[in-house]
Structure formats: C-alpha cells, structure tokens
Amino acid sequence: MRPVAAPTASRLWWGKFVQLGIIAIVLIECVFIIHLHVLNSPFQSVNTSYSNSLIPDHGGSIIGSSCSEEWLEKMDRVNYTRDFVKQPVLILFGTQEWSTCAVPCVFHTNDNGPADGTFGVRDGVPRIMRSMESSAYYPDHELDSARRKGFTVVMTTSLMSDVPVGYFSWIEYPVMDPPQPKTKTALAAAFISNCGAQNGRLRVFNLLQKEGITIDSYGACNQNIAGGRVNKLQALQKYKFSLAFENSNVEDYVTEKFFQALVAGSIPVVVGAPNIEEFAPAPNSYLYIKDENEVKSVAAKMMFLAGNATAYDEALRWKYDGPSLSFLALVDMAVVHSSCRLCIHLATRIHSKEEASVAPQRPCQCSHRSGTIHHLYVRERGRFKPESIFLEESNLTLKGLVEAVLQKFTAIQHEPIWKGDRPEMIRGDSNLRVYRIYPVGLTQREALYSWSFKSDEGFKEIVRQHPCSNFEVIFV
C-alpha cells in the first residue's frame, strides 16, 4: 500500500485562512442583523441622532450641532400607548356632572371590562371616596383614615385631598352682587337647624345675645322668627351680619353658610374652620370667633361696625374693588367640575407612569456653543395637555420661568380657563398674570399656600433632579 503523504506547510496555512474567512463572514452577518434591529427600534431616532451629531458630556447633557428647541421637542416626545380619545378614562358607578372636560372620560355602571377608578368595590381597580361632609362626624373621611381603608383617590372638602370638592363656585355663589340696603332692626340673622353640633355654636349664639347682639333666628335652633319657606339669600341681604356658624371647626370645611353671606353683602360672623382667612375675599371681610373667650370682643366689633357707616362700608369694599388674588385663585379651581378634575387626575397618573418608563431615552436638555437648553412642560390648572417651555441655563431662574410661561401662553393666545365663569367685573383684560407655578402632583393646599421653590437654586434643583419636569400654572 502506498503511504499517505504528510500535509505540507502551505496546505495547513491555506486551511486556517479558509476557517478565518468563514468566521469573519459570520461576524459581519451578525453585525448587519444587529444594525437592522437597532434601525427598527422605537428609540432609533434618538440613538442615531446621538451617534451622528451629539456627544454626551460628563454632566449628562447632550452636546452637538443639532441642539435646538425643535430637536428637544422631537426627541422628548412620548408616544403614549394610551390614547384617551380612543380609550377614555373609565370610572365606575359615578356621575358625569359636566358637559366638556380637558380629557375624554366616561362614567357608567357597567362593571365589565377594564376601569381606571371606581366609587364602588372592584378587585384591581383604584377606589375613589367622595364626601362633602365634615370629618368631625365622619372620621373615616379624614385623609389618612381613607388611605388606610384602601381608597386610592380621596375627594373631600380638604385642600389636601387628591381632588378637592369645596362648596365655593362663581356660578352657584355670585359673590360680586352689590350689597342691598340693611333694613332689619336686628343686627344679625341666623339659619341653624342642627341643634346637636359639637363645636358649641349655640353656646356662642347665646353669649352674643347676652352681649347685646340682636339676632333674628330663622332655623330650628333658638328660633324667634318664622322661617317657613323664606328665601335665605333675600333674607340675609337685609342684615348687616350673618351668623355663619358651621357644625364643626375643621380645616377647609367652609360651607354655603359663609359663601351665601358673601353673596348677600352681609358680613359673616364665623364659627368654624380655623383657616377661614384663606377662604375670605379680603382680610377685613369677616369676623371670626375662635372660642367663647372671643365672643365679647367680636360683639364689640359688631356694635362698632353697625354704628359706623364708613367702617362698615370698608368691610364690603372688596365688592367694588375686587377680591384678593388668593381668593380668585381658590374659587377659580371650581370652574372645572370636581368629576372632570378627577378624570384629569387619573389620566395624569396614567401618563406619568409611561413617562417614567421612557425617562432614560429622553434627553430633556442639550448643550450648544452658547450654553445648555432645558426642556420643561407647563399646563394650566384644570387643563390636561401641557405646553413646552425652554430655558437656557443662564436663565434658569424663577423670573425666567415666569417670563417664559407668559411668553409661550401669550404667543398661543391662551385664554384662562376661568374666563367665562368669573363675574364680568373681575375677569380683567387680555393680559395673563401668573399667580403660582408648581410641580404637577402637589395638593391644592400645597400649591396655593404651603409650597414654594424658595429660591432660584430650589427651582434649578427640581429641574436637575426631574428632567422634563411637569409644572402647573395658575393664572389670575
């Protein structure tokens, strides 16, 4: 048998070359497939833009020739999976009490299919609690208690609740109606029907009488004048004072007793919410009795005002000059019905979750030769859709924010949401005025009274910690 010849060195080299060539071809094909996958990715436009013209700096900004407001507008856009036009916010067992709302929303009693909230009980659906009663008598309606009982969304008179449902309204209470002549000899009128109130209001009533304050009582409690079917508002207009005595002294629990007195032009004498000043149209527009120890001094004040026409008219000056900006900002909230505000609240939560999921893919800022541009979003309270606001790093101040908001909303000819509801005399001109700007998600107590950016640095910190920050603006 002929022996097999040993392979030569050239043959061995050629075999290795062929193997390496095959491996190279496979690698090239893999790279090509990966490239196709990237091109088909939902964030392809972001990634290719970064690679072609922009380079991340050490601070997380994007640097490059493409940096502009238009580029940020495009790259920060979120393609939400939930289109509320096609799939409205769905709430079970509630009542739709508005004709139009900033976000499509449906209330119905059919509990089949997915839902975003329910006034009843359904597994896996956020529960909603709504009440306009005092938590002094319904402790389960207090915010923390409601949370412990499993309610996700709380709607009460408290401004700390998710969706406040106050008694105030421009439509229901036309507070700017002019005062009428005071023709009654008694100084004050009272309509009190619950004689079992736990805050001692009847005791205060009796003490005022002992101090010489004459009171016509139309209600079931201490009644001394026929009530019958008397028109309460028309009756109050004839008295210099109205006893706006609530059934409890709970923060933010301010009912029609107070607002009807304002409408009537009868100075309200208040027993009730300890923060009543936040609901008053002017500092001197009411009298407040904190406890029995203050009855004597308040009675003396009533006597003084009743006998001094100039001082009394001054207490009603707001009827002619207009109420405070804080009063406007509070009552304007009710221009959007609470059931619509509930829909906006739920829709905002839904979109916020989607925004959080794509946050790493949104640049929110970029740098060019002149500096860094920051992209923010601002919507008016009561609206749903935000507008884009851009601020240069050098102008990242509270003043810069207000100016940018005014410039943007003026440019789009924005009309404040309250324009058609406020009494005509306090609608103002076409110029926009900013009262508050605050992060979306704050309660109305925080937004109106207790929260602030504190400083330019505070504002910058929020923008840096929360890229593409969402804010709400209150125009007055």
CA distance 435 to 143: 27
Q: Residue 46 falls within a domain, yes or no?
A: no
Burial of 420 (0-12, 13-18, 19+ CB in 10 A): exposed
Task: Check residue 94 and give its pLDDT.
Answer: 80
Q: Give, as one character, the DSSP assignment of residue 335.
A: G
The SS3 assignment for 156 reads coil
Q: Residue 419 falls within a domain, yes or no?
A: yes
Structure token digits, residue 410: 């003026």
Buried b (16+ CB within 10 A) or exposed e, 84-116: beeebbbbbbbeeeeeebbbbbebeeeeeeebb
CA distance 16 to 190: 105
Question: Within 13 Å, how many C-alpha atoms sit on residue 320's CB side?
Answer: 6
Is 352 found in the same domain as 340?
yes
Task: Check residue 8 and give its pLDDT.
Answer: 47
Q: Residue 421 falls within a domain, yes or no?
A: yes
Return the amino acid letter for 182.
Answer: K
Helix axis angle, 44-53 to 9-39, nearest 10°: 120
Ordered alpha helix ranges (H), 40-106:
44-53, 69-75
Q: From 441, 445, 433, 446, select the one nearest 466 (Cα to Cα).
A: 441
Is 439 found in the same domain as 406?
yes
Task: Check residue 96 and give its pLDDT.
Answer: 80
Question: Would you say 417 and 335 are in contact if contact means Cβ atoms under 8 Å apart?
Answer: yes
Q: From 175, 173, 313, select the one nearest 240 (Cα to Cα).
A: 313
Return the amino acid letter for 90.
Answer: L
Structure token digits, residue 152: 């996700």
Q: Residue 236 falls within a domain, yes or no?
A: yes
Task: Check residue 41 and give its pLDDT.
Answer: 38
pLDDT in tens, the chain (476 residues): 434 344 444 444 445 544 655 555 545 554 444 443 433 433 333 333 333 334 444 334 555 568 999 999 999 999 999 999 999 999 998 888 888 899 999 998 776 678 999 998 888 899 999 999 999 999 999 999 999 999 999 999 999 999 999 999 999 999 999 999 999 999 999 999 999 999 999 999 999 999 999 999 999 999 999 867 899 999 999 999 999 999 999 999 999 999 999 999 999 999 999 999 999 999 999 999 999 999 999 999 999 999 999 999 999 999 999 999 999 999 999 999 999 999 999 999 999 999 999 999 999 999 988 899 999 999 999 999 999 999 999 999 999 999 999 999 999 999 999 999 999 999 999 999 999 999 999 999 999 999 999 999 999 999 999 999 999 999 99
Q: Give, as one character, the DSSP assignment of residue 292.
A: G
Question: Would you say 286 and 305 are in contact if contact means Cβ atoms under 8 Å apart?
Answer: no
Is 375 found in the same domain as 439?
yes
Is 307 found in the same domain as 214?
yes
Reported as a single tens digit per residue, the pLDDT across 249-259 is 999 999 999 99
H or E element in which residue 147 lies:
helix 143-148
Return the amino acid letter for 321.
Answer: D
Reported as a single tens digit per residue, the pLDDT across 21-42 is 555 554 555 444 444 343 343 3
Of 270, 293, 321, the one marking the end of a domain is 321
Q: Residue 6 falls within a domain, yes or no?
A: no
Task: Check residue 84 and give its pLDDT.
Answer: 95
Return the amino acid letter for 116.
Answer: D
Is 424 found in the same domain as 347?
no
Q: Residue 73 falls within a domain, yes or no?
A: no
Q: What CATH number is associated with residue 222? A: 3.40.50.11660
Q: Residue 392 falls within a domain, yes or no?
A: yes
- Helix then strand count (H, E) for the chain reads 15, 17
Is 93 found in the same domain as 123?
yes
β-bridge mates for residue 268, sequence order: 242
CA distance 22 to 5: 27
Task: Check residue 112 and give its pLDDT.
Answer: 67
Is 121 found in the same domain as 230?
no
Q: What is the pTM of this model?
A: 0.85
Tally the domains of the chain. 3
Q: From 438, 429, 445, select the one nearest 462 (Cα to Cα).
A: 438
Q: From 254, 282, 255, 252, select the one nearest 444 (Cα to Cα).
A: 252
> What does the angle CA 366 – CA 369 – CA 370 come to, to the nearest 5 degrees?
85
Buried b (16+ CB within 10 A) or exposed e, 226-254: eeeeeebbebbbbbbbbbbbbbbbbbbbb
Is 391 found in the same domain as 297?
no
Is 280 found in the same domain as 203?
yes
- Which residue range(s) make up the domain with 253? 188-321
Q: Which residues, 6+ apart, have CB-to-CB distance to 320 below 8 Å?
A: none
Return the amino acid letter for 236.
Answer: L
Is 465 found in the same domain as 378?
yes
At 333, give phi and psi (nearest 5°): -55, -35
Q: Residue 386 falls within a domain, yes or no?
A: yes
Is 144 found in the same domain as 215?
no
Q: From 362, 429, 402, select the one nearest 49 (Cα to Cα).
A: 362
Is 399 found in the same domain as 293?
no
At 73, give phi and psi (nearest 5°): -55, -40
Strands (E), 3-69: 54-56, 62-64
